[in-house]
Amino acid sequence: MFGHFTANVELENDEQFSELSMGEHDFFVQSKVTPRISFLSETIVAPVSDDHHGGADFRVSIERARLKYQYSEWLSVIVGKMHTPVNYWNDVYHHGRLFFPTIDRPRAFGSHVPIHTLGLRLQGQNIGKLKFGYDLVIGNGMSANDISDNNFQKSVTAAVHIKPEKQTRISISAYRDVLFENKGGSHSGHASSGHLTMGEEGWLPVDLDYELYCFSLYRNKGKWEILTEFTLNRTKLASSNDAELIASLGNPDATANTTTYLYAGRKLGNRNSLYVLGDRIRTQTQDFHMKSNDLLKVGIGWQHEFSALVKTQIQAERYTGRDGFEIPADDKWELKVRLAYCLY
């Protein structure tokens, strides 16, 4: 079981806030059913999301449930609900806060990255000297939920990586889906206030072609650990829309939205590290799915690992950005303390 507690102090526009929160608790199971078939699941119990993690209100969610048949190193067939392997963070960390190099997930996680897919995955890994790996996923897209997908269209993810050295991974991926009627379902992860939702000014019930391209670099060698995540999202009106509607909207070009996340940590002895982070998101004005913004977060933190299974992090962050977009520039400071753990 993975779990965490977090304390947060925030200073915004001369107002101060503070909170203590108990985060989601993640019950992880991995089991070998036969020599070639394995099962993996993650079920979380999490506080109901609101701005203040209210009361004793919890929800239960099956975040992963997948059966894997391993034919060889170069081919495994996986069926079920999985983390969409578009970038390093979503593939490697996701709910495992014990593994998070920084307290928060990158901003791309709540905005651009389709966090789950329910479907079929072909996977190969550790192929050849460069330890090439690939993942090809076809499944319910971002408009779907865990029990239904009311259209024939399926999302497609194609990802490749190499591991040229121990604890080094370089990966690129492409993801494509159609967002029907501009709705994000439970797999999109697009629940943040940065998205246009029904009833809001600017929201239109149009079908959108959604493309995402990601680059990730992770390296942990010697005293240094680094992680870079870059995403490019292109959204445009899908051909399934009425031609007159497209014309009336002025045949807009595809938007090009980007996120960049950088982490660099310097180990201080066996159990401590000092790190810096930067996280920038830029969404263009004419995007139909997301509110436009240009936001930047930078921070510095310290991590202490009591053991391989318990660690604490303290992180100071400065949120800022540029005005002139639907989401105004942030202007706040935050100080966070996190205790993350795993029991097994």
Partner 1 sequence: MRCFIILLALGWNGALFAQMGTPVGNDLDPVPLTETELKEIFLGNKSIWDNNNPVTVVLTSSDSEGFAKVAGWALEAGAFEFQKHWLSIVFQGRANAPVFLNSEEEVLAYIRGHKGAIGLLYTLPVPPELTVETP
Which stretches of the chain bind partner 1, using CB under 8 A? 28, 30, 32, 35-36, 38, 40, 64, 66, 68, 70, 72-73, 78, 82, 91-92, 96, 98-99, 125-126, 131, 166-167, 270-271, 305, 307-309, 342
Task: Supply the minimum distance, in Å, between the C-beta of residue 212 and partner 1.
Answer: 20
The rounded distance, in Å, linking the Cα atoms of 223 and 227 is 14
The rounded distance, in Å, linking the Cα atoms of 97 and 330 is 25
User: Which distant-in-sequence residues (6+ apart) come within 8 Å of 284 by Cβ?
Assistant: 255, 256, 257, 292
User: What's the token pair of residue 248?
Assistant: 């009336």
Task: Supply the minimum distance, in Å, between the C-beta of residue 7 and partner 1.
Answer: 24
The residues with which 119 forms a beta bridge, in sequence order, are 80, 139
Which CB atom, from 168 or from 320, has the smaller least distance to partner 1? Answer: 168
Task: Supply the minimum distance, in Å, between the C-beta of residue 72 and partner 1.
Answer: 6
What is the greatest pairwise CA distance in the chain? Answer: 64
Task: Supply the minimum distance, in Å, between the C-beta of residue 149 and partner 1.
Answer: 23
Which CB atom, from 90 or from 231, has the smaller least distance to partner 1? Answer: 90
Task: Supply the minimum distance, in Å, between the C-beta of residue 228 and partner 1.
Answer: 18
Task: Supply the minimum distance, in Å, between the C-beta of residue 99 and partner 1.
Answer: 6
Residues belonging to the chain: 344
Which CB atom, from 98 or from 281, has the smaller least distance to partner 1? Answer: 98
Which CB atom, from 28 or from 203, has the smaller least distance to partner 1? Answer: 28
Closest by CA position to 111, among listed 332, 291, 330, 319: 291
Q: How far is CA 314 from CA 20, 190, 277, 299, in A?
A: 14, 27, 13, 10
Burial letters for 311-334: b for 16+ Cβ neighbours within 10 Å, e otherwise?
bbbebebebebeeebbbeebeebb
Task: Supply the minimum distance, in Å, between the C-beta of residue 105 and partner 1.
Answer: 16
Q: What is the DSSP string of 53-79?
A: --TT-EEEEEEEEEEEEEEETTEEEEE
Task: Supply the minimum distance, in Å, between the C-beta of residue 125 and partner 1.
Answer: 6
Q: How many CA atoms lie within 13 A of 38 on its CB side?
A: 11
Beta carbons of 190 and 111 less than 8 angstroms apart: yes
The rounded distance, in Å, linking the Cα atoms of 278 and 264 is 9
Which CB atom, from 35 or from 199, has the smaller least distance to partner 1? Answer: 35
Which CB atom, from 122 or from 335, has the smaller least distance to partner 1? Answer: 122
Which CB atom, from 59 or from 271, has the smaller least distance to partner 1? Answer: 271
Beta carbons of 291 and 326 less than 8 angstroms apart: yes
User: What's the token pair of residue 338?
Assistant: 């996190």
Which CB atom, from 99 or from 215, has the smaller least distance to partner 1? Answer: 99
Helix, strand or coil for residue 187?
coil
Task: Supply the minimum distance, in Å, between the C-beta of residue 209 and partner 1.
Answer: 30
Which CB atom, from 96 or from 278, has the smaller least distance to partner 1? Answer: 96
Burial letters for 17-35: b for 16+ Cβ neighbours within 10 Å, e otherwise?
eeeeeebbbbebeeeeeee
Task: Supply the minimum distance, in Å, between the C-beta of residue 178 and partner 1.
Answer: 27
154 φ/ψ angles, rounded to the nearest 5 degrees: -125, 155
Which CB atom, from 70 or from 286, has the smaller least distance to partner 1? Answer: 70
